[in-house]
Amino acid sequence: MREDIYKLVQAAYDKKEKLDPESQRLLEKTRKDYISCGLGISAGPKRDRFKEIQKRLANISTEFSKTLNEEDGGIWATEEELEGVPKDVIQGLAKGSGEHEGKLKLSFKYPDLVPTQKFATNPETRKRLMIDNENKCNSNAALFKEAIVLRDEAARLLGYKNWAEFRLEDKMAKTIKTVTDFLNDLRTQLTPGGKEEIKHLKEIKRKWMADNGKKAEDDDYYLWDHRFYDRLMIEQEYTIDENKIAEYFPITKTIQGMMNIFEKLFGLKFEELNAETRDKLSSNGNGRDLIWHDDVKMFSVWDDEREGGEFVGYLYLDLHPRPGKYGHAANFGIQPGFVTDDGSRRYPCTALICNFSKPTPDKPALLKHDEVVTFFHELGHGIHDLVARVTYARFHGTSVVRDFVEAPSQMLENWTWEPKQLKSLSSHYETGESMPDELLNSLVKTKNVNGALFNLRQLHFGLFDVTIHSPTDHQEAEKRDYGALYNELRSEICCLTGPEKLGGGLNWGNGQATFGHLMGGYDAGYYGYLSSQVYSTDMYHSVFAKDPMNEAQGRRYRRLILEKGGSQDEMQTLEGFLGRKPNAEAFYKDLGIKKNQ
């Protein structure tokens, strides 16, 4: 908001002096930052109003995130109502007293929520959990609407038609039309497959209901049905037992196996620091330990000898839930890398934040396979953050445009579906044996089971995001019912029936009030998860599919993708690695979808 510095930046920009490409990019993006902060608006009432909006949006984002992170709700249920839920989950639930005597508290945290949705045989329990989870942060609904309305006003003050136009200008997509064309094409390609998947899942539901003496009220496939029957289908048709598979992924051994893969592929070494060394590094000068919690592990990361043996940076792993902690899985950069004035390098520090189940008295912490995939994904962000080699902190690591940032880590998810790599990762928590080939091969076959429905879910998020951020006029932004729109689009796009079918309309839940991404930087950019998936699938199948542990290609990927960070246009980075423009052929082929014309 310093106008004097803005004028200096503008003057430097107007000189048109020849700079190295990264410095030119820094100048252009810094200039855009000042304009985005309202300094392109003439001093007066309009600029003052813009400043007010910016302050309010910052406060909204903080309050919204705080509510999400501190949410401590749940549902109370009897053991009978939780029939089918894994014993490990039941053992970890709080016991009720008073009005909740004889009941257990099922929280909305992932280690409770997801297994219950997958395994609870009582549909009413799943329904209640799903609806209450959608309403767990209803105080955020008003904040969400206020933020969307204020963003729209801010964009118009800056001279844009809406917030999406403003935000997309600097992305790979550039325009709203590019995004909507991309998402609508995906919808055209994915919807027929989604409907076929629903048809098959309905058959499984009908049979299960009949076999278990339960009478179906109708023939619909509800939102609270999907995780349960998706899991049941995989168990029945692929002989997969998620809990059995988890026995082969004790968290400590899995971490080591994962790091072994990244060490070989990218030329790295991970060294876990003991408590004494860790505490010295974490001291703030007063001898007070800055490590967040006893659960946290800390690693120093180095290049291997072939890469020169130099220090790379520090990595924290914070893997289990606790009160007040961020509730999902993410990677957070603590300190970026950059080149200092004297030419030396400042090293990065990055943290992996996850919410995997804790150990029990009987077992170590065990990861279900989808959690192994999540772990690989987030550690992929961490590697991106660690190995970047840029001049300016502004472009370090994952500081790339939102419609590319997921691609490098999404690509690394493929290693969790490769038989050889899965075998090397697996180690039974009791026997130490690798996963048997029969079980492993069955697991690999499930990679894209119900893949159309999975991607339609992401499509719902992306279309909701771009729709709410591109109203035709400001009045539309003010009048819109965002909760009803969220629920309506979900039913239409995901092919799943919502509670509105049972009466009461579309205002049964406020899923948008729990949509932290749209308050945390993905606004008008959530489509990036899908565009990045297209890019990542293209990279993997073009370069790695035939030989996933090819060290030469792994190090080439490190040089051309990871080390570049955001120091150059991301499309240039991607095309430099692929040797051509990216396309969606591998994405559709991987899903087994024949593209409709």
**How many CA atoms lie less than 13 Å away from 8 in the CB half-sphere?**
5
Q: Distance between CA 381 and CA 106 in Å, rounded?
A: 31
Given 81, 165, 378, 406, the catalytic residue: 378
Q: Could you give the C-alpha distances from 6 to 33, 35, 41, in angstroms and in order?
A: 9, 8, 12
Q: Distance between CA 131 and CA 483 in Å, rounded?
A: 13
Residue 431 tokens, joined: 């026997």
Q: Which residue has the tokens 């509105």?
A: 500
Write the DSSP string, 261-301: HHHHHHTEEEEEPPHHHHHHHH--SSS------TT-EEEEE
301 near 269, Cβ under 8 Å?
yes
Helices and strands per DSSP (H, E), number in the chain: 24, 10
Q: Nearest Cα to 67, choosing from 140, 150, 147?
A: 140
Type of residue numbered 208 = W
**Residue 95 phi, psi dihedral angles, 5° rounding:** -90, 140
Q: Distance between CA 109 and CA 98 in Å, rounded?
A: 24
Q: Distance between CA 315 and CA 296 in Å, rounded?
A: 10
Residue 388 tokens, joined: 């970047």
Q: Distance between CA 207 and CA 47 in Å, rounded?
A: 63
Task: Name 268's bridge partners.
Answer: 303
Write the DSSP string, 359-381: P-SSS--B--HHHHHHHHHHHHH
Q: Could you give the C-alpha distances from 225 to 91, 114, 120, 141, 507, in angstroms and in order?
A: 24, 12, 10, 26, 20
Q: Has 378 been annotated as catalytic?
A: yes
400 near 565, Cβ under 8 Å?
yes
Q: Which residues of 142-156 are buried (b: 16+ CB within 10 A; e: fewer)?
A: ebbbebbbbbbbbbb
**Residue 440 phi, psi dihedral angles, 5° rounding:** -60, -45
586 near 537, Cβ under 8 Å?
yes
Max CA separation in the chain (angstroms): 79
Under DSSP, the state recorded for 77 is: E
Q: Distance between CA 469 and CA 480 in Å, rounded?
A: 11
Task: Name 312's bridge partners.
Answer: none
495 near 456, Cβ under 8 Å?
yes
Q: Distance between CA 152 and CA 161 in Å, rounded?
A: 8
Q: Distance between CA 377 and CA 411 in Å, rounded?
A: 8
301 near 314, Cβ under 8 Å?
yes
Write the DSSP string, 505-556: TTTT--GGGG-GGGGTT-TTTTTHHHHHHHHHHHHIIIIITT-TT-HHHHHH
Q: Give the residue numbers marked as catalytic.
A: 378
